[in-house]
Amino acid sequence: MRRHTYIFGALCATAALTLCACGTGDHTNTADSSSYTDVQNILRRLTTADGAPGALLEVRDARGRTVLKSGVADVRTRAPIADDSRFRIGSMTKMFVATVVLQLVGEQRVALDAPVEQYLPGIVGGNGNDGHDITVRQLLQHTSGLPDYLDYLSVEQVLKAPLEHHDRLELVRLALAHPPSFPPGTSYAYSNTDYLVAGLLIEKLTGLPYAEAIGQRVIAPLGLRDTSVPGDGTSIPGDHPRGYLAQGNSGLVDLSEVNPSVAGSAGGMISSAADLNEFLAALVNGDLLRPAELQEMMSTRPTGNSYHDAYGLGLQSTPLPCGGLYWGHDGGFPGFQTMGVITTDGRGATVMANLYPGESDAQDADVRTALASALCASSPAKPKL
């Protein structure tokens, strides 16, 4: 769920294990991997200096698909990371949710600048008088001012039952029991609460659980075989690395089994690098959204962070050191840090490290550096935009 997931760091404290991770390099060639030597070196750094047990990056360009790996999927068995590994994608879920909402905008079933209160009476209107004025656009762009429920979730409560179901409406109410961060539309503050409400909006407009709506509108049409919205499912299906959390002197804690309903429509999905690259390509190529809605999604405002990210509607842009921008989203869920990006000329890359939160900010920096290096070394495909 990107930030604040450190609050789950003690989920497995009673079973903390002191473990080590020794990085080993590997790659799979379906294209020429010789262009990605720098990327491979960064992945090795992720699994040595940064402390992640394993890392995987898939890059796609005009030459084909290249999978680069370092480290291991499991620190006990030393099993290697499978090319088609599935993992929890955290806040990358927001791209899927925003896509469905924007499809509904294109179908004229919801208006971006209409109040959320019009569609979900009483849900956000309880957050002071300003809550009635929050628009659908502001939810998707994190300009609603809704407080982030993860700031107020009790660690002790989660520790008592880490596999327990969390009701999204109750999580929204938890956030709304606190003052808004700012009046709607006046500033930017990343809030997972925004996307819990967006999930509720999808359900109200479609009459389907948000998971089914994503499945019918995005996953099935694109044939994303590794992608799922697990609801209360605590396990990751198929080949997958174990997910770990660094916990000081206790070493690494295995956090592979968690009920993702604690993230829900803000960050509960599972996917693979191959599927995420396929989704991103379809998204920027206009296969999922009409031109008007895609333009809205890619209309950004600065976030003010050190990476110079600019946030649109569930999609953010970041400058590339070799020129231009890449588009995508980062994600963090206990045990996994992920990020998937694409350029409008068809170069795409997704990276996964099976450690989150990491031991330092170095992991976050190296995740981004690996992606930027991969895109800068890749060969442009023929643009469809």
Catalytic site positions: 91
Which residues are within 8 A (CB) of 324 and not within 5 positions of it... i.e. 6 or more apart?
343, 345
Kindly state the greatest CA–CA separation across the chain. 58
Cα separation, 343 vs 381, in Å, equals 10
Contact 224, 275 (CB under 8 A): yes
The span from the CA of 371 to the CA of 366, in Å, is 8
Report yes or no: 327 and 311 within 8 Å, Cβ to Cβ.
no
Radius of gyration of the chain (CA): 20
Q: How many CB atoms lie within 10 A of CB 18?
A: 10
The dihedral over CA atoms of 259, 209, 145, 280, expressed in degrees to the nearest 10, equals: 80
Give me the sign of the Cα torsion angle 77, 235, 223, 62.
negative
CA 380 to each of CA 59, 62, 67, 377, 383: distance values in angstroms, whole numbers, following the listed order: 12, 6, 17, 10, 8
- Nearest-angstrom CA–CA distance, 187 and 192: 16
Q: Does the CA dihedral 35-40-45-46 come out positive or negative?
A: positive
Q: What is the dihedral of CA 313, 367, 222, 206, to 10 degrees?
A: -40
CA dist., res. 317 & res. 301, Å (int):
10
Going along the chain, which residue ranges are E strands?
A: 25-29, 54-61, 64-71, 86-88, 244-246, 252-254, 270-272, 301-302, 310-311, 316-319, 325-333, 336-342, 348-353
Half-sphere exposure of 350 (CA within 13 A, CB side): 26
